[in-house]
Structure 1
Amino acid sequence: MAAPASASEFELSPVKFSRLTKRGIILGLSLPQVIAVSVAVAVFVASLYAGGPAALYTAPIWGTALGLAAIPVGGRKLVEWVPITLHWLLRQLLGQTRYRKRIVKPRPAGTLALPGDAAALRQYEDPETNAVMVHDPHGQTLTVLLEVTHPSFVLLDPGEQERRVHAWGRVLSTASRSTRIARLQVLERTVPDSGTGLAQWWAEQGHDDDSWVARTYRELIDRAGPAGERHISTISLALDMRAAARPIRTAGGGLRGAAAVLRQEMATLTTALRTADLHPSDWYTTGQLAIMLRSAYDPAIAATLERAGDIGQELAAAGPVAVEETWDRLRSDSAHHVVLWISEWPRSLVYPGFLAPVLLSSGIRRAFTLLCDPVRSDQAARDIRKKKTEYISDAAQRQKVGQIEDAQQTAEYQDVLQQESDLTSGHGVLRYTGLIAVSATTADELEAAVSAIEQAAIQASCETRRLVGQQAQAFVAAALPLCRGI
């Protein structure tokens, strides 16, 4: 007779995230703050040596420098806004915040019709798998993607949820151990339901005898289909062509050799996903990627493209017609967009389904992206040793000047110790970046959707911040499956 299962086998284990490091170079001051304070001290000391009212005359200089280093605005000190603002003004001066498609001058063959720094991306179709691979000549990466289907996680029992969490951890561990993977991107997005599922069911199961009932049912399907929404999950894999230079040369060199090396990583990832009870599709073709890119910039056409057969499957014409970037938002063909950055993950213990309020929010078109950057074990060990040394030296410096130890700094140091323990136990190290791209038809609807997503993030114990001065670049990273960073 089998022994009864213990209660712990059916309990879902909580998890804890490391805090975002906010430690500065010295005494909690960042590099821009140190520079500003140094300028203020140098000007003030020089004015004292000059004698007379020189200190009063130079007060606007050293006073402004101290104010830039000390006054916070929007979660940052004023001095940290200076490079962001200058870069934004320079881009505006050079006309880089506006994009218009050149209709009479088509894009060169093999390029992606995307604006901004993504215009340099090239496409390569693998002759063996028919998968489309996106080549970044500047970042020296080669990216491929597939779609993943899975049962609803929140409807599973705790024991099955725990098993699937560990299985997904093994998938990430497989990716982190490979020294040839530059980045792994998990993209979960909502798209309008085109009604193809209902139409297919009616074609297979219905009896269309052109009667009044059949005509009414057919009209209801045509009207109700595009009104719904569905969730699509994709995983993108980027090969680091610099790290894989030797096997690429062995495989023949160039994009052909890089594609051969990437196929090995693709096979490994597919096997790991199937082991985790996930169902990967075939790798995306040129037409599938073209529809996905077009739908991101022009959401109003998404349902039409899905039902239109072979229309819209050319990457050379899949980009937006017009893009207008402002300080805190982006406007493309038929939508307004805002990108939010998850600046703080939950600080307390949470269960793996903690993102359900964000991912299951209905009536909002959004794309949630998780960028995973693997860190080699030797590099991770060096980084951890460096952080430990800096924390210990900062604590000694604060003790000398009589500064009280901050609980936040103590918690960050404990996180570093936990990371060292996990690395010693054989776990891989991944750096996570969470982005949420919210889209709507009008500016008012966009603000309402952003507010709803921010409230959902609060329910998920996460802190979000709206990115400014880089919305176009952030949108490419958050809404497109191209493994792009910001």
Structure 2
Amino acid sequence: MARKHDRDSTRNEYELSPVKFSRLTRRGILLGLSLSQLITLAVAVLSVVGALYAGGGILLTYSAPIWLACAVLTWVPAGGRKLIEWVPVTFRWAWRVTGGHLIYRRRVVKPRPAGTLALPGDAAALREYMDPETEAAMIHDPHQHTLTAVIGLSHPAFVLLDPGEQERRVTAWGRVLATTCRSGRIARLQVLERTLPDSGTGLAEWWDAHGDADGSWAATTYQELIERAGPAGERHATTLSLALDMKTAARQIRTAGGGLRGAAAVLRQEMTTLVAALRTADLTASAWLTPGEVAVILRSAYDPAIAATLERHGDLGRDLATAGPVAVTEAWDQLRSDSAHHAVLWISEWPRSLVYPGFLAPVLLSTGIHRSFSLICTPIRSDQAARDIRKKKTEHISDAAQRQKIGQIEDAGQTAEYHDVLQQEADLTAGHGILRYTGLINISAPSTDELEAAVSAVEQAAIQASCETRRLVGQQAAAFTVAALPLARTV
């Protein structure tokens, strides 16, 4: 029996454990109805009751357009949403169209104020602050009250590791996320994985490290070939963005001197803790990105055609004041920037069944597509998470009692959501952190036809990964800054 137990323990140690995501909650305030649905339903009921009391059938006929329109807005779906949920999106889009906010053109003769980023839309308010101690670029968002720093990551290919090593790395990454939850001062953590054209710098770096430049004909010829080699293939780059919540850390910021200098001191503490956690997870972290390195990422996102050139020539494009686009035109379901068309997909449903940690491989390893995958992790404080869980449990129980009272049958989806809440409560009780995940995929292509083909390919890859994606509409510009830029913003 002891030998059997040892064999089982050894086998479990080297097996990769599957994981399961919580469902996206679709519950409303009452009987699955949201606040907007309840308002339109109340208007319909009041119009019917008022017509019956005031004049009977004649007024009921006259008021039919009101309660019929309210009923249609409440119950009829379109594009995965009820029609009433499209009303604020449509009005906001109409306001932006009439206000001329869909077109951005840089004023070349009128430079931006010092310290600001040359980005369109609400991202124009972002400020640059260079930390004097680490020389890292810190991006201040005055609207969301965050201060963000970016670090580069390198790691071996996860899918090529053996199951035991994969399990160990997944557990270690869970400790990294738990560290951000315990801090209480972290607003967001963003993992940005991008595909970039290979600029040929890898060959040059290999020659500098291993080559023998002895002046011979062979060495000279080989060095010239490397210098003339153009982009070939593609490579993957990963960054991790850490955003400090300046409201939550207000007391610590005042203690450190106040202002951006005090916020930078508090953020440095979180940066040190994060780097230590990354090392324990066997993730190789580079130095925190400087303003020039962040500028190259921003410029490459809006102008992919220049990305390889910027990487090959290290002195070009390294000014945050000029890193933004020259022109941006936003459409209902896509975005046009300097040299590319972009479309952003939202991962609306993560896998509902048990999957292994490498389930996103079809999306992340798709070749021939210029795309960026952004995972926004929002840590929730344990006390706030406990309150939210209690509230959800109470709502589930009261809704179940109300459905039983009116004779409505509870479906399997509602039961599954309740079990997810119970599992979150168990995880929180066991000491784990609770995070909200948002996944966005930005696809870029030189033309509209190539963009649509790439979007279709990514959607099929997401299906293979057991994920459901939806193309964001009416907010492509805001979604692009989240999906393609390492600024740890939300949409």
Counterparts of 2:222 and 2:175, CA distance in 1:
50
Q: Which amino acid in structure 1 is aligned with residue 289 of structure 2?
A: Y
- Closer, same or farther in 2 for the Cα pair 1:43/1:131, shift >3 Å? same
Counterparts of 2:151 and 2:408, CA distance in 1:
52
Alignment-derived partner of residue 200 in structure 2: 195
Alignment-derived partner of residue 306 in structure 1: 311
Counterparts of 1:184 and 1:404, CA distance in 2:
40
1:396-415 matches, within 5 Å, as 396-415=401-420
Q: Secondary structure at the match of 1:282?
A: strand
1:72-87 matches, within 5 Å, as 72-87=77-92
1:249-260 matches, within 5 Å, as 249-260=254-265
Q: Which amino acid in structure 1 is aligned with residue 267 of structure 2?
A: L
Where do 5+ consecutive residues of structure 2 fail to align?
Answer: none
Matched, 1:443 2:448: yes
Q: Secondary structure at the match of 1:238?
A: strand
Matched, 1:161 2:166: yes
Counterparts of 1:454 and 1:148, CA distance in 2:
27
Q: Which TM-score applies when normalising by structure 2? A: 0.96
Q: Which amino acid in structure 1 is aligned with residue 109 of structure 2?
A: V
Q: Which amino acid in structure 2 is aligned with residue 80 of structure 1?
A: E
1:119-134 matches, within 5 Å, as 119-134=124-139
- Quote the offset at 1:171 in angstroms: 0.4
The superposition leaves residues 158-178 of structure 1 with CA deviations (integer Å, 9 ceiling, x where unpaired) of 001100000000000001111
- Quote the offset at 1:433 in angstroms: 0.5
Alignment-derived partner of residue 372 in structure 1: 377
Alignment equivalent of 1:35, drawn from 39, 44, 67 = 39
Q: Secondary structure at the match of 1:6?
A: helix
Alignment equivalent of 1:13, drawn from 10, 14, 17 = 17
1:289-438 matches, within 5 Å, as 289-438=294-443
Contact preservation (8 Å) 2:195, 2:236: yes
Which has the larger displacement, 98-107 or 133-142? 133-142
Matched, 1:277 2:305: no
Matched, 1:174 2:179: yes
Counterparts of 2:215 and 2:144, CA distance in 1:
58
Q: Secondary structure at the match of 2:48?
A: helix
The superposition leaves residues 118-145 of structure 1 with CA deviations (integer Å, 9 ceiling, x where unpaired) of 0000000011000010011121111001
Counterparts of 2:84 and 2:198, CA distance in 1:
46
Q: Which amino acid in structure 2 is aligned with residue 388 of structure 1?
A: K
Alignment equivalent of 1:452, drawn from 448, 453, 457 = 457
Contact preservation (8 Å) 2:204, 2:226: no
Where do 5+ consecutive residues of structure 1 fail to align?
Answer: none
Q: Secondary structure at the match of 1:374?
A: strand
1:202-221 matches, within 5 Å, as 202-203=207-208, 204-205=210-211, 211=217, 215=221, 218-219=224-225
- Quote the offset at 1:309 in angstroms: 2.2
- Quote the offset at 1:50 in angstroms: 2.1
Alignment-derived partner of residue 243 in structure 1: 248
Contact preservation (8 Å) 2:213, 2:219: no
- Quote the offset at 1:412 in angstroms: 0.1
Counterparts of 2:318 and 2:456, CA distance in 1:
34
- Quote the offset at 1:35 in angstroms: 1.2
Alignment equivalent of 2:63, drawn from 54, 58, 61 = 58
Between Structure 1 and Structure 2, how many residues are aligned? Answer: 484
How much is the aligned-residue C-alpha RMSD, in angstroms?
1.6
Counterparts of 1:475 and 1:384, CA distance in 2:
32
Counterparts of 1:448 and 1:464, CA distance in 2:
15
Counterparts of 2:424 and 2:77, CA distance in 1:
31
- Quote the offset at 1:68 in angstroms: 1.1
Give the fraction of aligned pairs with identical amino acids, expressed as a percent: 71
Moved over 2 A (4+): 2-5, 199-204, 206-223
Alignment-derived partner of residue 155 in structure 2: 150
Q: Secondary structure at the match of 1:133?
A: strand
Contact preservation (8 Å) 2:344, 2:483: yes
Counterparts of 1:478 and 1:191, CA distance in 2:
15
Counterparts of 1:145 and 1:379, CA distance in 2:
27
- Closer, same or farther in 2 for the Cα pair 1:261/1:220, shift >3 Å? closer
Alignment equivalent of 1:472, drawn from 452, 458, 477 = 477
Q: Secondary structure at the match of 1:247?
A: helix
